[in-house]
A and B are shown apart, each in its own frame.
Chain A
Amino acid sequence: MSILKKFSKTSILFLLGAVLVLIVVWIWQGGFRDLEVQPQEEEQNEPTTSETPQDMKEAMFYQELFGNWVQCQLCFRKCTIAEGGHGVCRARTNRKGTLYSLVYSMPSAIHIDPIEKEPQLHKLPGTDILCIGTVGCNFQCQHCHNWHLSQASPGELRTYYLPPEKVVELAIKENIPTISYTYNEPTVCYEYLYEVAVLAKEKGIGIIWHSNGAMNPEPLRELLKYTDGVTIDLKGFTEKAYKNSSAELDPVLRTLKIIKEEEIWLEIVNLVIPTINDEEEDIRRMCEWIKKNLGYDIPLHFSRFSPAYKLTNLPPTPIETLEKAYDIAKKVGLQYVTIGNVPGHKYNSTFCPECGMRLIYRIHFQVLENNILDGKCKFCGYEISGMWK
């Protein structure tokens, strides 16, 4: 207090008053209660990680390089990974010269949804799928709807522990005919998906996956042996469109051709984003390419964009643009074209290319009417491509 003796008594009174007010207010507001708040029990909420080697699954496709470096051979990026490092997808790591998957048996999302949400519109309409998603992605789309999963790293998120046999058991228990790997990129959990696919095939459960289509040919062909259907996101037909996803177009086109070659059921989704991939000319070239390389009976879904993730400053896709894209695709000669994410739109439904009657009446993900009998149009008998049983 010697400091304060230099000053008048009023100063001391002032100071005491201030301190008093401070204390009174603090207690009144329950200040001490605040102080007692213990640090949150972190352990409980801490997500489980699979960072210890015995929990991790060795990757199926990679090359050992000199000095404990490895090169992942799974997707077009072919990441060269130093010891302790991760791939671009964040889901694979190099431990002492061995590449491991960090998401094997560790899904972060397990849900039941209609197959129309996938979308796989020509496969068992109106049935449910068991959807599995893990963490990480080899693309970085600025409009990703599932960025919580795709742009995170393993270890950051809560996970379930669900080994392949349990996935198949769950599907059987819930009486779900199809298992789908979706939400984030299934490529990054390749080993998990592959083993589930092998088991599912044995038990008669269908396997589909929704991918950006940038897997390398060798793993792709291996996986397709056990796959029933694939949905590929074709993010546009220009390098500019792929720049928005920090990726490349060519590997995706290669994938599409391989799926066709292996005769696996394929559907394509094209999210039309204003200013990024909505040029009519590009859409026409894309449709022509599909017809020429994949065939006229590949279902193509144009989907409406609405602002998401980082693409927050763009308008939603005009309906007119989607309808124009539909017209272009039809004119080019594609048989099964639909418009998605515009509930109530006429072309949300599938029409018979022969007689023009409505085959599947669809509103968003709900099927209200199905006029396909034994894989044929009920009205004219035209054979409709797809997997109807």
Chain B
Amino acid sequence: MKVMVLGGRGFVGRAVVKLLRERPDVQVVIASRHPGASESGAGGVSCVAVDARDEVSLCAALKGIDAVVNCVTGDGPSIAAGALSLVNAALKAGRPRLVHLSTMSVYGSQQGVLDERAELLDDIGWYGHAKIEAESHIRRYAQEGGLAVALRPGVIIGPGSEPWVRRIARWLQAHRLADLGAQGDGPANLVDVNDVAQAVVLALGMALPADGTMPVFNLAAPDSPRWNDYFCDLTLALGAGPLQRWGARRLKAEIYGRGVPLKVLERVAGKLKLDANQWPQGIPPSLAGLWAQQIQLDVRAATKDLGVQWTPYARTLAQSVQWLQAGSAAIAMA
């Protein structure tokens, strides 16, 4: 089977590629805007440069491909338009199976335990909006006779996660994040990046209905903690204590006194073509919303029907911390 991983050089894409390479029956094609050479040729992996928004180049790349894993990220238009051109190209080019990486953000601000039948709610910003639109394109692909599966992971962590491991760790180490009480009581819905990759591989192999429906699976570790617990565990593992405790006012002060101004500076720097990558990041308001949101993904379908074997949260945490510390050790040596 020949599998193309769109966005194969991203955080999730790399994990998917790594897992697929272990399969002797699978030939992997990494499709990316900037394909590197490192994996090219080795172990049945080839690379191809594709702009996911360019239907024509996609169509050409899809020749001979049996399945596509869509891990494309980026800004809203890349996500939504990328899915649209993928569907259009796939319909023209032999109708490969699509495994689409969606997100729990498609559930918007809804609270409670949500299974895959919950409605999609476009009320929490551009990311959820784009992902809902992307999912609707993929669903159309199924309706028009293609085979498609959508995966809705929660917050993907593990070694290599810049936003959810390194960024959070930096805030905690700088005492710019804390135990947030009720403001951090939301279930974190953490899922190990390797479990997401595992779900992708399982979705590539599962029997799919040819009735125009698109199976969907929530992905989150069943033992995933709440945000406050994650912050505390990370603090203790990094020896970054004592963990502070903030109330709602203190969190607001951090967001609007620091997070928002830093974001504005970053934008200005971008306009001036300055490199703002190493600048400190502040907490955006959207994150505060997520941390307080009482949303819990029901993952029984992924466990039972897809057969995902979940990595225990404690192991994911330990490996993430190991990655962080290896990174800082490397920096210290340099």
Asked whether A and B interact, the reply is: no
